[in-house]
């Protein structure tokens, strides 16, 4: 709750710097690995060598929140996939199917790209279509019993959205009931002209 209030205040600067995207992803994975192993889940990571312009701790927090949710709603024996790649202009995932296929990702498109795209994919119970946007709102749970059975404040995804938006990126989810969910978010690539800070 304090984290969310801090982000909502709009007065705390996020100091941006060049960050290795794979390193941030690995930090989140290592932080959540004990929880995954306790639930008998495998974590599988793939990453392109990408440098982003970000507040590193906030991005790790976002990844940790998403990974925590994936662990919470996955059945034992499943694999959670995490990745980061160039978000090429002609390969935006909201236009793709649940199988993750997308358009061409040529070197030309990559050169035009301004963002990196992080993905956390689980094989859990999925989210009903009418709740795909609401899950990013404050105190929202897919099921009212989730807070009692699985814990959590209902603020994790709202915090993720605030952090991503303050980086100038976007966050969204694709899901199929009974098959799982894919959470994706974008953050800017590192450019020589990138500003040094943004207000949170």
Instruction: Of 65, 71, 68, give the one whose Cα is nearest residue 158.
Output: 65
Provide the token pair at 50. 């990408």
Give the SS3 label for residue 100.
Answer: coil
The Cβ-side half-sphere exposure at 189, using a 13 Å CA radius, reads: 17
**Three-state secondary structure string covering 44-82:** EEEECCCEEEECHHHHHHHHHHHHHHHHHCCCCCCEEEE
pLDDT value at residue 191: 80
> Any idea which residue has 């603020």 for tokens?
155
| Residue carrying structure tokens 């009931």 | 177
Block means of pLDDT (10 residues each) for the chain, length 200 residues?
A: 57 84 97 96 95 96 95 93 87 43 48 88 91 77 49 75 93 93 96 58
Q: What is the 3-state secondary structure (H, E, C) of 110-128?
A: HHHCCEEEEEEECCCCCCC
d(CA 28, CA 89): 27
What is the structure's pLDDT at 137?
83
């Amino acid at each position: 709750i304090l984290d969310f209030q801090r982000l909502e205040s709009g007065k705390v600067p996020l100091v941006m710097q060049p960050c290795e995207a794979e390193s941030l992803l690995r930090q989140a994975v290592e932080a959540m690995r004990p929880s995954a192993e306790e639930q008998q889940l495998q974590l599988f990571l793939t990453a392109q060598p990408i440098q982003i312009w970000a507040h590193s701790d906030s991005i790790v927090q976002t990844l940790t929140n998403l990974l925590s949710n994936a662990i919470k709603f996955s059945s034992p024996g499943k694999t959670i996939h995490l990745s980061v790649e160039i978000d090429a202009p002609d390969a935006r995932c909201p236009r793709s199917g649940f199988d993750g296929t997308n358009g061409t990702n040529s070197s030309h498109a990559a050169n035009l790209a301004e963002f990196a795209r992080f993905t956390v994919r689980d094989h859990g119970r999925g989210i009903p279509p009418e709740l795909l946007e609401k899950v990013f709102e404050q105190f929202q749970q897919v099921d009212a019993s989730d807070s009692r059975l699985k814990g959590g404040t209902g603020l994790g995804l709202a915090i993720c959205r605030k952090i991503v938006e303050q980086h100038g990126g976007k966050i969204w989810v694709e899901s199929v009931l009974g098959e799982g969910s894919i959470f994706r978010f974008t953050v800017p690539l590192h450019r020589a002209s990138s500003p040094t800070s943004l207000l949170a």
